[in-house]
Amino acid sequence: NAGVTQTPKFQVLKTGQSMTLQCAQDMNHNSMYWYRQDPGMGLRLIYYSASEGTTDKGEVPNGYNVSRLNKREFSLRLESAAPSQTSVYFCASSVYSGLIYEQYFGPGTRLTVT
Amino acid sequence: TQLLEQSPQFLSIQEGENLTVYCNSSSVFSSLQWYRQEPGEGPVLLVTVVTGGEVKKLKRLTFQFGDARKDSSLHITAAQPGDTGLYLCAGAGGNKLVFGAGTILRVKS
């Protein structure tokens, strides 16, 4: 049981290049999320998918697209990378237990855009 | 927009000292979660508090949810170097979380 896995772990892009960040979970969770983490700003939600086949914008969606490929996989795509997208990106999945959703995070992808 | 403010932003203490981290908002949350994050890793859930006034203990960590469900605190007794990390609070609204900016805790031996 690997939990939430993310690839790649590190990436350097030049401005204007594109790339896809991959995320997979093996916990049979319905909901999945993409966050970015910047110093002093906590985690900000980019996109989320409440269930297979649905996606919704979060707080900072501009410049990103997502695909919920199946129940296990949720990818994040940068079509034309910008230096402002330099950040650490975390994928998470969540399970509903009683009244609450508990989120489980992957190890992160450290992206630098030059 | 729901906002969560954490204080202090940074805390550096000696091993054995006690400390409290605060998480405040003007919004009401259905539940509030605390996460701990170590360098190079993703956040790990420590606890979820749901009921106003609720207190939960996890070994040397005590978590409290305010009566009005707008604020929370994390108290660590006799801090140890292994407690070093980034502590994040997160308020739940449906199946989404709103995170505070975090408190960086450094415990020196």
pLDDT at B1: 60
Answer whether B92 sits within 8 Å of A104, measured CB to CB: no
Per-residue pLDDT at B96: 86
Mean pLDDT of B20-41: 93
pLDDT at A39: 85
What pLDDT score was predicted for residue A64? 98
Answer yes or no: do B43 and A101 touch at CB < 8 A: no
Nearest neighbour of B95 by CB, restricted to A35, A40, A101: A101
Give A-chain residues touching B50 at CB under 8 angstroms.
99-100
The answer to whether residue A92 neighbours chain B at the CB level (below 8 Å) is yes
* b (16+ CB within 10 A) / e for A48-76: bbbeeeebeebebbeebebebeebbbbbb
pLDDT at position B95 over 90: no
pLDDT of residue A99: 65
Q: What pLDDT is stored for residue B2 in this prediction? A: 65
Tens place of pLDDT for every residue, chain A, 114 residues? 689 999 999 999 999 999 999 999 999 999 999 999 998 888 999 999 999 989 999 999 999 999 998 999 999 999 999 999 999 999 999 987 766 788 999 999 999 999
Cβ of B92 and A100 within 8 Å? yes
Judge: A43–B88 Cβ closer than 8 Å, yes or no: yes
CB contact under 8 A, B44 and A105: yes
Q: What torsion do the CA atoms of B37, B42, B47, B48 make, to the nearest 10 degrees?
A: 130
B26 vs B2: CA distance, rounded Å: 8
> What residues in B contact A100, CB-CB < 8 Å?
30-31, 33, 48, 50, 92
Taking only Cα atoms into account, the Rg of chain A, rounded to an integer number of angstroms, comes to 13
Q: Tell how many helices (H) and how many strands (E) occur in chain A.
A: 0, 11
Report pLDDT for B92.
Answer: 86
Percent share of chain B, pLDDT over 70: 98
